[in-house]
Amino acid sequence: MRYTSAILGVVLAVFVPALALAHGFGQRIDLPVPLYLYLFGGGAIVALSFILLGLVSGRISETLYEYPRFDLMRLRWFRIVASPPALLPLKIIFVAILLVALAGGWWGGQNAALNMLPVVVWILFAIGVTFASAFLGNVWNVINPFKTLYEWAEVLFQKIGLTWKSEPLPASAGVYSAILLFFAFRWIENVSPMSSDPQPLVLFVLCYALVTFTCMAMFGKDEWLKKGDPFSVFFSFLSRFSITDAKDGAVYVRPPAVGLLNQPATLSETGFILLMLSSVAADGMLTTPFFQNMFSALLSAGIPWVLVGTIGLASLFGLFIVVYYWFSFLTKTISGDTSTTLEVARRYIYSLLPIAIAYEVAHYVSILVTESQRLLYIISDPFNRGWDLFGTANFQISYTVLNLKTLWNAQVGLIVIGHVIAVLIAHAIADRFFKDSRKALISQYPMLALMIFYSCLSLWIMAQPIVAVE
């Protein structure tokens, strides 16, 4: 017995770096939500669900569809701000950040805490741009440095007379390549033990750049960004929740979440959103005692972490697909709907996004607030040469900016709000589809159960002690 635990200890000691860094990079200091708050959140979710079911009528749904919107392009100052010459400096800044971070990653010190690249990739990009997309709008479409670099290269090639014809992706390709690449990204984030090591991260980014540039050349820039590029697809889905909508040269301001009331998703888009939902939950889930104990058992049985982690991530995705399909089937059966289960699945998938966004914010806001401060000292010495360019090289991260009790309340509050929005959206979609509020109401029972389950799962994850070492 004693030997087993000693062996387990050694095994764990070897694998602790992999386990400790479930998220690509960064140390989270937040503590699990206390039990009473967790139970309160769960209770509020159930209670509000019933209230909503009782109160929401066809009228409210119609108001949601006829939301007010305003075209910002009608404002003179906005036209100036959004004009290509005014956006150019912004694009240059993000290209510069990318290039400096890559150079720092390769030639700078290899301690992740002192290197710019992990902060830029895992905090600014993976969390910062995600938040901005979900609330402000599709900012990545504007600042994407890979897109900018490609556009510059295109101009250059045209000048020297080098042009080529690109073929658009076949319609059947959907966003499947984005699903594959996004899974690879989540794998690097959650499974790869090297996710925060600067030099491997440089290689990862360069691989991504290579794939992106090649595919943009082959299929056309906009075509690839719309269907194949994992991040552009990810951010564009998130931005449907946001308060702006850019299309046909107009930029509309609108209430949040109403963009989710769009036409049904395609099958591959449904798959992508399910991958989003499962992978957003994965980061918190993998560090709960339940999963960590399971992982330790598998590791001590001699199965390598790479295999355990990969299968774990993939089966979580699989589980989300199965559960969602099953609830779609229930929805279809209970409401006597003549559409196929897949049609039902495609119709409601967007309505789950608010819960995922709420969880994403609740889970990552603390790490964003603390870890992004690293940039303050790193930009003064990006290559770890003892420089002090801006006089901030000795800045220390302040952890007291977070009040844990406020954070707990905010986390639970966010999940409850996300849940309410999700229920409203799903209901509005059902009302519009059935044009009969009684039928719409009945069809919503299974979806409501699924949403309660998903919201409570999010709460549960946040109430779990974070275990990275056992």
Partner 1 sequence: MNNQMLLTGFGVLVLVLVGGWYWMSSNLASTPAAPDTVVQVPQPQTHALALAKRVLTPNIVTVTQGDQVTIKVMSDESGEFHISGYEIENDMTVGTELSFSFTADKAGRYNFELHPKEDKAAFRWIPIAEASENEEEEGAAEEDIVIGAFVVNPR
The 392-411 contact track toward partner 1, x by CB under 8 A, reads ----xx-xx-xxxx------
- Distance, in Å, from the CA atom of 155 to the CA atom of 162, rounded to the nearest integer, reads 10
Give residues with Cβ within 8 angstroms of 317, minimum separation 6: 183, 274, 275, 278, 279
31 binds partner 1 (CB under 8 A): yes
- Distance, in Å, from the CA atom of 193 to the CA atom of 310, rounded to the nearest integer, reads 12
How many residues belong to the site for partner 1 (CB under 8 A)?
A: 55
Least separation in angstroms between residue 357's CB and partner 1 is 24
CB 58 within 8 A of CB 437: yes
Q: What residues are paired with 70 via a beta bridge?
A: 253
Which candidate, 181, 200, 197, 193, places its Cα nearest to that of 268? 181
Give residues with Cβ within 8 angstroms of 142, minimum separation 6: 87, 90, 91
Question: 138 vs 192, which CB is nearer to partner 1?
Answer: 192
Least separation in angstroms between residue 7's CB and partner 1 is 11
Determine which residue in the list 113, 143, 314, 452 makes contact with partner 1, applying CB under 8 A: 113
CB 172 within 8 A of CB 179: no
- Distance, in Å, from the CA atom of 216 to the CA atom of 196, rounded to the nearest integer, reads 28
Determine which residue in the list 63, 83, 111, 266 makes contact with partner 1, applying CB under 8 A: 111
Least separation in angstroms between residue 26's CB and partner 1 is 11
Give residues with Cβ within 8 angstroms of 232, minimum separation 6: 140, 141, 144, 225, 226
CB 289 within 8 A of CB 258: no
The 148-187 contact track toward partner 1, x by CB under 8 A, reads ----------------------------------------
Residues 441-470 that bind partner 1 (CB under 8 A): 441, 466, 468-470
Determine which residue in the list 67, 69, 82, 109 makes contact with partner 1, applying CB under 8 A: 109
Judged by DSSP in three states, 397 sits in coil
Task: Characterize the bridge pairing of strands 70-71 and 250-253.
Answer: antiparallel
Question: Which range of residues in 191-199, 240-248, 338-346, 354-362 is near partner 1 by CB under 8 A?
Answer: 191-199
Beta strands in 235-303 (DSSP E): 244-247, 250-253
321 binds partner 1 (CB under 8 A): no
- Distance, in Å, from the CA atom of 24 to the CA atom of 279, rounded to the nearest integer, reads 13
Question: Which range of residues in 50-58, 165-173, 303-311, 342-350 is near partner 1 by CB under 8 A?
Answer: 50-58
Determine which residue in the list 140, 147, 197, 227 makes contact with partner 1, applying CB under 8 A: 197
- Distance, in Å, from the CA atom of 211 to the CA atom of 208, rounded to the nearest integer, reads 5
Question: 39 vs 334, which CB is nearer to partner 1?
Answer: 39
- Distance, in Å, from the CA atom of 265 to the CA atom of 351, rounded to the nearest integer, reads 11
Judged by DSSP in three states, 470 sits in coil
Q: H helices within 191-288, ranges in order? A: 198-219, 221-227, 230-238, 267-285
Determine which residue in the list 22, 33, 44, 357 makes contact with partner 1, applying CB under 8 A: 44
Least separation in angstroms between residue 151's CB and partner 1 is 31
**How buried is 68 (Cβ within 10 angstroms: 0-12 exposed, 13-18 middle, 19+ buried)?**
exposed
Question: Which range of residues in 40-48, 145-153, 299-307, 419-427 is near partner 1 by CB under 8 A?
Answer: 40-48
Least separation in angstroms between residue 12's CB and partner 1 is 8
The 417-446 contact track toward partner 1, x by CB under 8 A, reads ------------------------x-----
30 binds partner 1 (CB under 8 A): yes
Which candidate, 411, 285, 425, places its Cα nearest to that of 358? 411
Residue type, 279: S
Question: 200 vs 256, which CB is nearer to partner 1?
Answer: 200
Determine which residue in the list 141, 199, 339, 341 makes contact with partner 1, applying CB under 8 A: 199
Question: Which range of residues in 190-198, 215-223, 230-238, 342-350 is near partner 1 by CB under 8 A?
Answer: 190-198
Least separation in angstroms between residue 364's CB and partner 1 is 15
Question: Which range of residues in 47-55, 164-172, 298-306, 344-352 is near partner 1 by CB under 8 A?
Answer: 47-55
50 binds partner 1 (CB under 8 A): yes
Which spans of this chain sit near partner 1 (rule: CB under 8 A)? Answer: 9-10, 12-14, 16-17, 20, 27-31, 34, 36-37, 39-40, 43-44, 46-55, 106, 109-111, 113, 193-194, 197-200, 203, 396-397, 399-400, 402-405, 441, 466, 468-470
